[in-house]
Structure 1
Amino acid sequence: MVAAKQIEKLSNEALAILSALGVPLARLTQRRRVKMAKAFLALAGMRPGMAWSQAKDSASDGGHQLQSRQIISFMNAHLGENISPGSYDDIRRKDLVLPVEALIVLKSAKNPDANTNDGTRGFALNPNAARVVRSFGSKAWDAALKSFMADRATLAQELSRSRELARIPVKLNAKQALTFSPGKHNQLQKQIIEDFLPLYGYGAEVLYVGDTEDKNKYTNESRLAALKFFELAHDKLPDVLAYSEQKNWLFLIEAVTTANPINELRLRTLKPLTAACTADVVYITAFPDRATYRKFAHDIAWETEVWLADSPQHMIHFNGDKFLGPYAKS
């Protein structure tokens, strides 16, 4: 029990160091954080009972470096893990990818030009970062950290800028715009709003749209309440809701890139939720292209519509007796 508490304390200290050195941790699961911390501890040669002043780096003792399987062996022997040696590639691809990108860890300390799959490559702490690491918990920590971070953009800052540059701008209407996080699903939602609705929406305004990072990206709650639409906290919301005052139509649109078109089961779920809605409801599944549509064509529910972003001026109607529009509520 004592050893477990010591390992947890050491791991938490490792995470505090990594965070202070600019490694972004917020989006990682707890398990990913723990494994990163312990891989970092292995490279530093840190075991319970040791002081951070004893941390090793690529210049220590002729060069302290460990290969992926050696890191796993250290974690198993000293840090309470039971990881299969066959999981060695996770060390490179998951556990140390951020410390390497932040230049806190060197991915091939003795041979920087070694191939990625070279089995002799060894990871090690960067001596420059290690000098800060060895000061952790001492009076010299603040000054050492400040000196190391001076004029140096952290990985967290760089990744934040990269994410911002990659964000997808979306124009909701003449006065409002927002941005989506990058990704195929959000790109399709942008096309729905900027291409589909102007073509087929009869002046429809967006009342709700989610984002893969924020399911409540934009919501016009007062307008939806006036239409007596179901509670937005419901976990079965479609991807986009838009309302045409001209037609009194409410468009329920699913953006499908990998899963969840409006099939008979989905339609059965949505209809009761819109039973009190004062607008007529139109159900639409949007796909980015024909290839994606073909994967789901046999699942599409009758009395719904399909729109393909790569052929924006055409629609596929699973109805039989009308071009586009709502059906009587059942």
Structure 2
Amino acid sequence: MNYFHKDGRGLNLTLARGLAAYLNSSLVDAFFRLFNGHTQVNATDLRNLKYPTIAQLMTVGLYITEHFPSQKEIDQLVQEELLSMSNQSENNPVIIKTRIDEALQILIELGLPQAQLNERSALTLLAFLDLKPTVPWEAAASPLMGIAPMTEFMAQHYGKIYKTNREGIRKYTVHQFLDAGLIIMNPDAPDRPTTSPKTVYRIEESALELLRTYETNEWKKSISTYLYSVDTLKKRYAQERELSRIPIVIEGKLKTLSPGGQNILIEKIINEFAERFTPGGKLIYVGDTEEKFAYFNKVALKDLGVTIDSHGKMPDVIIHYLKNDWLVLIEAVTSHGPINPKRKTELEVIFADLKIPIVMVITFLSRKAMVEYLADIAWETDVWVAEDSTHLIHFNGEYLLQAYKVDRDFETK
């Protein structure tokens, strides 16, 4: 139980009635829920609330006699007597709630799905616009926003703290904003991998211009025009994103990988490593950072004695090297580590029923990238560096001290 007191003694009865009415108002309830994420009210929460002056609370208390007013009567009293307090303050709960309600109404008029018509989505929209509670809609901006800065904005300006649910914002709001064409991803670097921790978003330019007209005479006309053209806008950005994808050819058919990061290396594995070290080999699996896999020939793998239902722990590329009858498992190392002893054992378990020998290859874009992971590379594996594409490094005792020949008229073999 929490209680209010004055120097350890009870409050004036009229003041206590006014305070009780204020704390029971729908306004305080709505504001309290912005920052309170648990099932109980503690003293710190109550101290952090913004209160009217004693005089204002006394004024409300004078209206309350023997019978406590109904919810409707309480809300009317608060509306009439207390809204003069710090009306232009960013911390004013009325202003905060009003702004969130405005953002929610915009999402409704934009036709977003019911699952996105909630406080979380409204706050996300306000973060994308850098729109603080007292800033007019016409001053909406378009900063680059990652998920973490977004949640910091919500906490600082709207009192809503998302410490453990950032992924929920990304999964259940940001992705849907992308699908609706309301925001664009990585406009500063379109080839940045979608899984990169540096991924950022920005409000789409036409949407920004639309939202700046909210609460003006132009709003109805602007939103009608915007909704008419939004499908065309979504197609345009989809085409721009498609142009950034990485083309590869598998069994004579052109496929594309999502842009950036690991897939740049996967393209080099297919077009350079495979042609040089497994010529005539049969591609069985090609991973994709965005779509999990770009190609998977389950039948070919099953014919070799292995059935895999989930591709979550698959290597990035699998090639059946027909000439030697080897299955070559290739990991592309960019943001994740190489085949270390633990991963090597894991792959051996996954492919335990294989009828042919396994060769494990770890690939890097550069020697510098390889040096970062040198201590983690498992023995009995091979390493390929894309910038030195004609050579392999053998972490394999079987090849230790192997002689090599030098053709003085040509190149090292």
**Native 8 Å contact 1:42 1:75 kept in 2:** no
Q: 1:294 to 1:152 in 2, by over 3 A?
A: same
The partner residue of 1:98 within 202, 205, 220 is: 202
The corresponding residue for 1:147 is: 225
**Secondary structure of the structure 1 residue equivalent to 2:379:** coil
| 1:275 equivalent in alignment to 2:352 | yes
Which structure exhibits the higher relative contact order, with contacts defined as CA atoms closer than 8 Å and separated by 6 or more residues? 1
Residue by residue over 1:245-294, the C-alpha shift from the partner in whole angstroms, topping out at 9 and shown as x without a partner, is: 22211111000012220111111111121111012110000101111011
Q: 1:44 to 1:15 in 2, by over 3 A?
A: farther
The corresponding residue for 1:265 is: 342
The partner residue of 1:126 within 212, 217, 224 is: 212
**Secondary structure of the structure 1 residue equivalent to 2:399:** coil
The partner residue of 2:322 within 245, 260, 272 is: 245
Amino acid in the other structure paired with 2:202: L
The partner residue of 1:163 within 241, 251, 256 is: 241
Residue by residue over 1:191-249, the C-alpha shift from the partner in whole angstroms, topping out at 9 and shown as x without a partner, is: 10111111111411111111111113211011111112241415321111111222211
The separation in 1 between residues aligned to 2:264 and 2:151, in whole angstroms, is 40
**Secondary structure of the structure 2 residue equivalent to 1:301:** coil
Amino acid in the other structure paired with 1:194: N
**Native 8 Å contact 1:249 1:280 kept in 2:** yes
The partner residue of 2:388 within 286, 308, 311 is: 311
The separation in 1 between residues aligned to 2:155 and 2:121, in whole angstroms, is 16
When the two structures are superposed, what TM-score results if normalisation uses the length of structure 1?
A: 0.65
**Secondary structure of the structure 2 residue equivalent to 1:241:** strand
Q: Identity across aligned pairs (percent)?
A: 31
The separation in 2 between residues aligned to 1:40 and 1:311, in whole angstroms, is 43
Q: Which runs of 5+ in 2 are unaligned?
A: 1-25, 35-96, 144-149, 164-185, 187-197, 401-413
The partner residue of 1:15 within 107, 118, 129 is: 107
Q: 1:312 to 1:56 in 2, by over 3 A?
A: same
Q: 1:246 to 1:16 in 2, by over 3 A?
A: farther
Amino acid in the other structure paired with 1:306: V
After the TM superposition, which residues 289-328 of structure 1 pair with which residues of structure 2 at under 5 Å, given as runs?
Answer: 289-322=366-399
The separation in 1 between residues aligned to 2:129 and 2:389, in whole angstroms, is 54
The corresponding residue for 1:184 is: 261
Q: Which runs of 5+ in 1 are unaligned?
A: 21-25, 47-54, 59-63, 85-92, 107-123, 136-142, 324-330
Amino acid in the other structure paired with 2:241: R
Residue by residue over 1:149-191, the C-alpha shift from the partner in whole angstroms, topping out at 9 and shown as x without a partner, is: 5567765444322211111001123x22210011121010011
Q: 1:158 to 1:321 in 2, by over 3 A?
A: same
Amino acid in the other structure paired with 2:343: R
Q: 1:32 to 1:306 in 2, by over 3 A?
A: farther
**Native 8 Å contact 2:130 2:140 kept in 1:** no
The corresponding residue for 1:223 is: 300
The separation in 2 between residues aligned to 1:250 and 1:270, in whole angstroms, is 12
Q: 1:167 to 1:158 in 2, by over 3 A?
A: same
Residue by residue over 1:5-29, the C-alpha shift from the partner in whole angstroms, topping out at 9 and shown as x without a partner, is: 9888765444345677xxxxx9x9x
After the TM superposition, which residues 70-81 of structure 1 pair with which residues of structure 2 at under 5 Å, given as runs?
Answer: 81=160
Amino acid in the other structure paired with 1:98: R
CA offset at residue 57 of structure 1? 3.7
**Native 8 Å contact 2:250 2:283 kept in 1:** yes
The separation in 2 between residues aligned to 1:76 and 1:45, in whole angstroms, is 12
Q: 1:144 to 1:265 in 2, by over 3 A?
A: same
CA offset at residue 296 of structure 1? 1.1
The partner residue of 2:274 within 183, 189, 197 is: 197
The corresponding residue for 1:37 is: 125
| RMSD between superposed Cα atoms in Å | 4.3
Amino acid in the other structure paired with 1:305: D
Q: 1:195 to 1:149 in 2, by over 3 A?
A: same
Report how many aligned residue pairs link the two structures: 265
**Secondary structure of the structure 1 residue equivalent to 2:247:** strand
Amino acid in the other structure paired with 1:207: I
